Structure 1
Amino acid sequence: MADVNKGKLSLAALTAMVVGSMVGAGIFNLPGRFATATGPFGAIIAWLIAGTGMYMLARVFQALAEKRPDIDSGVFAYAKAGFGDYMGFLSAFGYWLGSCLGNVFYWVLMLGRFFPEIFGDGSSVIAIVVSLIGIWSFHFMILRGVEQATFINTIVTIAKIVPIIVAILLFIVFFNFDQFAENFFGGVGMPEKSLVAQVRDTMLITIFVFLGIEGASVYSRFAKKRADVGTATILGFVAVTGLMVAVTLFPYATAPRAAIAGVANPSLAGALELVVGQWGAVFISIGVLISVLGAYLAWSLICAEVMFAAAKSKDMPKLFAAQNANGVPANALWLTNIVVSLFVVSTYFSRDAFNFMLDMTSVTALLPYLLVAGYGVLIARRGEGYEAGSRERLRDQVIAWLAVLYTLFMFVAAGLKYVLLVAVLFVPGTIILYIWARREQQARLFTPVELGVFGVTVVAAAIGIYGLVTGIITP
């Protein structure tokens, strides 16, 4: 294993970071979430939209890694380079916040879905206590060194891919074309709604399962070769997308859509149980537990790295740029796990903590992705890093515009509720962290445009708070 503290992450290690970040709990919930919304026809359309959009975004990350090799921890650094300090902060804060929410989702899933007799839906008092113990156990393990944690992540990534591949092979063995054809447009008991509504209902889960596509970009400062960042992004995207599409579509050929929609999460376990019996559910459940723990570890590393990198670039208070003797951004890790702990406690007041945390995680990632795509458009238009008259420049501009349009479409598909709730979180983040960082630098708080952006965010947050207080918006 390469020594990440010396900047020696290989292509294989970077690809493992992408795959490990993307293959978490979400892929194990795809059969039920899709079957609830649509049949194979709608699922194919949804994956064509999501896959094409995220591929465009992956290509933007690849192009930016090649054209701007001087920019590290690209998720927020690209936003800052293209759109200024405050947008860079919002990107960093939004990405970090979404990662924290995702970590809460993992604990809710692990306890609520596997041990419901003990922990209820994962938001009971005892579930919260056990989650807090787990959060802080991982915290102190990571403090011992990033290299050790990254090595564990690589091993876990291999371990959690195996059950998914076995499940896909079993679905292929029991593939029934007549059953697939019966389900194709929804089959028996399909709710009456338009194809557009069916596809829209799958969009947030597709965003969630694609989170982590930027894993190599986040760790770009550790890359052995800068070109490996873009290559790892594409390799990870292609491999995981293939797995996700197979996990979604093959179950439709083994059982009625309504039966798949009715299984409990993680629905891949229930879908396999319909085919081979209880041992299939147990087998997948073991894989999910490994996957959840591995994904939690990967995202804990990413959370701390994003906060650390933002502090190093003066987009966050310098307190979070400190590292301990093992090279771990300790203060960033402490803040991350304090916030994760607070979110875990807040699940006690949620009606459906499982889906709420999943959807909130997805929406918070959209702004960073939109700004990355927008920066891809900017550098292609300016010709930064391109030869004069290069066809590559036009190609990359078209790709970046498609990524922008896809991300904007996802904001619409997400719905106003989640956008307002994200604004509720952005305002205190701005007031506490951004203003703190700007005062440390004795820099101007906002340009006129940035002040306008903050004003819109405040208005959206006020509407969100009003909705929560009046019950119009329910978490």
Structure 2
Amino acid sequence: MAQDTPQKFSLWTLTAMVVGSMVGAGIFSLPQAFGRATGPFGALIAWTIAGIGMLMLALVFQTLSRRKPDLDAGIYAYAKAGFGNYPGFLSALGYWSAAVLGNVSYFILIKSTLGLFFPVFGDGNTVPAIVISSALLWFMHTLILRGIREAAALNTIVTFAKLIPILLFVVFVALGFRSDVFSTSFWGGEEVSLATVAGQVRATMLVTVFVFVGIEGASVYSRYARRRSDVGLATLMGFLGVLCLMVLVTLLSYGVLLRPDLAALRNPSMAGVLEAVVGPWGAVFVAVGLLISVAGAYISWVLLAAEILYSASKYETMPRFLSHENSRGVPSNALWLTNIIVQIFLILTLFTEYAFRLALELTSSMILIPYFLVAAYGAKLAFSGDTYGRDPAARRADLARAAIATIYTAGLVYAAGAQHLLLTTVIYGPGTILYLIARREQGKRAFTLPELALFILAVLGACAGIYMIVTGGVA
């Protein structure tokens, strides 16, 4: 049986899971995404805020992996342990939904990249693009069904392969950097004021969340780690490395093209930046790098998506059928459900003009609640003193880090705005049917009173969100 021969991941494999999850479609769209929102000054502030906030969140993951080694389902298990069954379910559902939407964005960007050379693919949401994306989806599905270990090994190889073109991009763009272009865009081309800069920074918040999604990759796979201490270390190593790459790609691009030109680039916008430095072959180079990168990120994310459903089912928060494993130890039912939903969303992108941007923003919005609950659980654990014994210094330090992470993630929810929060309830509300099925299977009461109030809010939000979508209130 698969359970008798557990597959264990080394520190480097876990780190590759983190890097592979974080370095996907997002980094290749950073020049355009930031150019549309702000200039170099605003970008520096945004990355400082995001870097500190996400570093604190990474440290919370590291602390929780060390102090609660029995919670081996990562992001979902922490929410359940800290706040109850239904919030734990919402965390699992939100994380899984973000993974699904992230995978959709990867396929859109693959086709949009090919659209640079083959117009039939357009911006990734034409009929030929959806057909090819669907074929790739089910090819990768078949590959992953062959085994978690094989897929993880392939992800490790692809992770290192896709870093090479990104690093070379940084080198070439640094050589072509022009200080006069950089200084012209420095203030974003708008009147310099606190309100202006604050508005620019807020406009980048969902972008920074999207590119950091995956920071919890090692935590989700903690049950496969050879040593529990590797989970936190892999999270920290992966985060710091990726942060450096994100900042360099963003800021160096402002020294090649003016902000309006960056904002006008089609995705993958790194291709347009490099083309401006080295000529047409730069776009081809970035396109190849993106295809490798997104393929690796897809493997990471579909594994994470299936794992979160499987783990939640094992913890009796999702229906039992999702805990089924095939003969190779792959959570096959969870994988099937994940890719069926990805397929449905791919078809829906035919009716969306800005499919990639929508997928990016919804991915970021869906991950906010799970991140907030993890940070809040870290703060709750340190505040209560549980597991700290006679170690007040560590407790104070962990409480400070968790408090900063909680404030940061709460700020992200605010920055996302009411419309995005409303759209998340369109998934949270109807998705609760999976929780109700699981509770019925166990013969347990569905909700406590506070959980019932939360469920009613989710349903009301879902109704309002669907009404606004149908009537055009949400663009």
Instruction: Look up the equivalent residue of 1:161 and give its one-letter code.
Output: L
* SS of residue in 2 equivalent to 1:253: coil
Equivalence for 2:440: 439
The whole-number CA distance in structure 1 between the counterparts of 2:86 and 2:316 is: 11
The whole-number CA distance in structure 1 between the counterparts of 2:369 and 2:114 is: 33
Equivalence for 1:333: 335
CA contact (8 A) 1:312 1:318 kept: yes
Q: Cα deviation per residue 1:53-73 (whole Å; 9 max; x = unaligned)?
A: 111100100000011011112
The answer to whether residue 278 in structure 2 is matched with residue 276 in structure 1 is yes
Residue 245 (structure 1) shift: 0.3
The whole-number CA distance in structure 1 between the counterparts of 2:358 and 2:409 is: 20
* Equivalence map 1:46-445=2 (5 Å): 46-115=46-115, 117-187=119-189, 194-431=196-433, 433-445=434-446
Equivalence for 1:456: 457
From the superposition, tell whether residues 4 and 397 of structure 1 become closer, same or farther in structure 2 (CA, over 3 Å).
farther
The answer to whether residue 471 in structure 2 is matched with residue 470 in structure 1 is yes
* SS of residue in 1 equivalent to 2:43: helix
Equivalence for 1:36: 36
Residue 234 (structure 1) shift: 0.4
Name the count of aligned residue pairs.
Answer: 471
Residue 81 (structure 1) shift: 0.2
* SS of residue in 2 equivalent to 1:452: helix
The whole-number CA distance in structure 2 between the counterparts of 1:443 and 1:79 is: 19
The whole-number CA distance in structure 1 between the counterparts of 2:254 and 2:360 is: 24
Q: Cα deviation per residue 1:430-473 (whole Å; 9 max; x = unaligned)?
A: 02x10100001001100000001001111111111111121011
Residue 188 (structure 1) shift: 8.7
- Normalising by structure 1, we get a TM-score of 0.96
The whole-number CA distance in structure 1 between the counterparts of 2:327 and 2:197 is: 55
The whole-number CA distance in structure 1 between the counterparts of 2:348 and 2:178 is: 44
CA contact (8 A) 2:31 2:249 kept: yes
The CA RMSD over aligned residues, in Å, is 1.8
Question: Kindly, what percent of the aligned residue pairs are identical?
Answer: 51
From the superposition, tell whether residues 399 and 461 of structure 1 become closer, same or farther in structure 2 (CA, over 3 Å).
same
The whole-number CA distance in structure 2 between the counterparts of 1:98 and 1:188 is: 34
* SS of residue in 2 equivalent to 1:70: coil
Report the more deviating stretch, 366-375 or 341-350: 341-350
CA contact (8 A) 1:59 1:234 kept: yes
The whole-number CA distance in structure 1 between the counterparts of 2:409 and 2:269 is: 27
- Normalising by structure 2, we get a TM-score of 0.96
The whole-number CA distance in structure 2 between the counterparts of 1:261 and 1:198 is: 13
The whole-number CA distance in structure 2 between the counterparts of 1:7 and 1:327 is: 9
CA contact (8 A) 1:58 1:233 kept: yes
From the superposition, tell whether residues 189 and 5 of structure 1 become closer, same or farther in structure 2 (CA, over 3 Å).
farther
The whole-number CA distance in structure 2 between the counterparts of 1:346 and 1:128 is: 10
The whole-number CA distance in structure 2 between the counterparts of 1:216 and 1:262 is: 36
Residue 411 (structure 1) shift: 1.0
* SS of residue in 2 equivalent to 1:71: coil
From the superposition, tell whether residues 389 and 330 of structure 1 become closer, same or farther in structure 2 (CA, over 3 Å).
closer
CA contact (8 A) 2:430 2:462 kept: no
Instruction: Look up the equivalent residue of 2:449 and give its one-letter code.
Output: P
CA contact (8 A) 1:255 1:275 kept: no
The whole-number CA distance in structure 2 between the counterparts of 1:280 and 1:216 is: 33
Residue 408 (structure 1) shift: 1.1
The whole-number CA distance in structure 2 between the counterparts of 1:389 and 1:100 is: 41
Q: Cα deviation per residue 1:267-301 (whole Å; 9 max; x = unaligned)?
A: 11111111111111111111001111111111111
Residue 175 (structure 1) shift: 2.4
Residue 260 (structure 1) shift: 2.0
CA contact (8 A) 1:4 1:222 kept: no
- Unmatched 5+ stretches in structure 2: none
Instruction: Look up the equivalent residue of 1:113 and give its one-letter code.
Output: T
Residue 343 (structure 1) shift: 1.1
Residue 114 (structure 1) shift: 2.1
Residue 193 (structure 1) shift: 7.7
* SS of residue in 1 equivalent to 2:316: coil
The whole-number CA distance in structure 2 between the counterparts of 1:169 and 1:125 is: 37
Residue 43 (structure 1) shift: 0.3
Equivalence for 1:18: 18
Equivalence for 1:9: 9
* SS of residue in 2 equivalent to 1:202: helix
The whole-number CA distance in structure 2 between the counterparts of 1:204 and 1:450 is: 28
The whole-number CA distance in structure 2 between the counterparts of 1:257 and 1:132 is: 35
* SS of residue in 2 equivalent to 1:31: helix
From the superposition, tell whether residues 28 and 61 of structure 1 become closer, same or farther in structure 2 (CA, over 3 Å).
same
Q: Cα deviation per residue 1:120-156 (whole Å; 9 max; x = unaligned)?
A: 2222222222222211111111101111111110111
Q: Cα deviation per residue 1:98-125 (whole Å; 9 max; x = unaligned)?
A: 1001111111111133226112222222
CA contact (8 A) 1:31 1:267 kept: yes
* SS of residue in 2 equivalent to 1:194: helix
Instruction: Look up the equivalent residue of 1:8 and give its one-letter code.
Output: K
CA contact (8 A) 1:33 1:261 kept: yes
CA contact (8 A) 1:218 1:306 kept: yes
From the superposition, tell whether residues 36 and 4 of structure 1 become closer, same or farther in structure 2 (CA, over 3 Å).
farther
Residue 389 (structure 1) shift: 4.6
From the superposition, tell whether residues 454 and 180 of structure 1 become closer, same or farther in structure 2 (CA, over 3 Å).
same
Residue 427 (structure 1) shift: 1.3
Instruction: Look up the equivalent residue of 2:386 and give its one-letter code.
Output: E
Which 4+ runs in 1 deviate beyond 3 A?
187-190
CA contact (8 A) 1:18 1:214 kept: yes
Residue 189 (structure 1) shift: 11
